[in-house]
Amino acid sequence: MARGNYPPDWDERRRRVYQRDNYTCQLCGRGGGPHGNLELHAHHRVPISQGGSHDLSNLTTLCRECHNRQHDHDITESPGPNPSAGGGVIEIVLAFTLYHLVIPVGFVVAYLYVLSTVLDTVGGIHMIVTIAAIVAVGVTGGLIGLNWPAVVVKGYGIVIASTLLVFYVGGPTGMVEELGSIVAEHSLLEVVLAIPSVIFGLMGPLLVILFIPVFNRLNSPDS
């Protein structure tokens, strides 16, 4: 099995997963280790390529046969589609496009759509309510994105690079118009409060997933 991005304590982690799952394949129910002769593997529920982690909660015990069926190739050999299973260049391109383009961009576009909808709903109530809504949506998107940080980073990178974000800002319901109305209709204090909230609103999930690891490191006992 390829070990390119695996943590140094991977062997210890997978042993703990086997113990937790009673050395039993969680798909076929057959046993390995002290309960049988099956070769056991620690399988990532959410693939690493999709932002899955090496945490025990994302790992489950599978036998070699079930693990190979999950990945559609022999997991103990070089990664790649199994020719006998119909894999090929087209499947590789489609998978790459899905995991590195469609899903990341879809996450960011969906987040911006939710943000725009929330603003349309609460924007006319009160300035403070609007700011609170922007912050709440941004933090929520960031907490969701913590499970798939690679997706968020890729999504924002692609969206910004392709100027989709610029088009969104300049759209008829974009946040530039929201900021313009704030500047025109509210006090200087409200404008000062609004500017960072607008920036946070646009970049909320990205800022949250970048800030929390730094915050955790600064507040760790070893720091």
- In three-state secondary structure terms, 17 is helix
Residue 124 has pLDDT above 70, yes or no: yes
Residue 188 has pLDDT above 50, yes or no: yes
Q: Can you give the pLDDT at residue 119?
A: 83
Average pLDDT over residues 116-136: 83
Average pLDDT over residues 168-197: 63
Q: Can you give the pLDDT at residue 168?
A: 54
Residue among 60, 69, 73, 74 at smallest CA distance from 19: 60
Residue 78 has pLDDT above 80, yes or no: no
* Domain 10-85 in CATH 1.10.30: yes
Average pLDDT over residues 133-147: 85
Q: Can you give the pLDDT at residue 186?
A: 63
Q: Can you give the pLDDT at residue 177?
A: 63
Comparison of pLDDT for 129 and 179, the residue scoring more: 129
Among the ranges given (3-7, 19-23, 112-116), the one the predictor scored with the smallest mean pLDDT: 3-7
pTM here is: 0.50
Cβ pair 184, 131 in contact under 8 A: no
Q: Can you give the pLDDT at residue 172?
A: 46
Q: Show the tokens assigned to 130.
A: 């609007």
Q: Can you give the pLDDT at residue 86?
A: 39
Comparison of pLDDT for 193 and 163, the residue scoring more: 193
How many CB atoms lie under 10 A from the CB of residue 26?
A: 15
pLDDT digits (tens, 9 = 90+) for 10-65: 888 989 999 998 888 888 878 888 777 888 999 888 888 788 888 988 899 988 88
Q: Report d(CA 2, CA 27) in Å as an integer.
A: 23
Which residue pairs, CB below 8 angstroms and at least 24 apart, start in 47-53? 48/5, 49/99, 50/99, 50/103, 50/148, 50/150, 50/151, 51/147, 51/148, 51/149, 51/150, 51/151
Cβ pair 75, 68 in contact under 8 A: yes
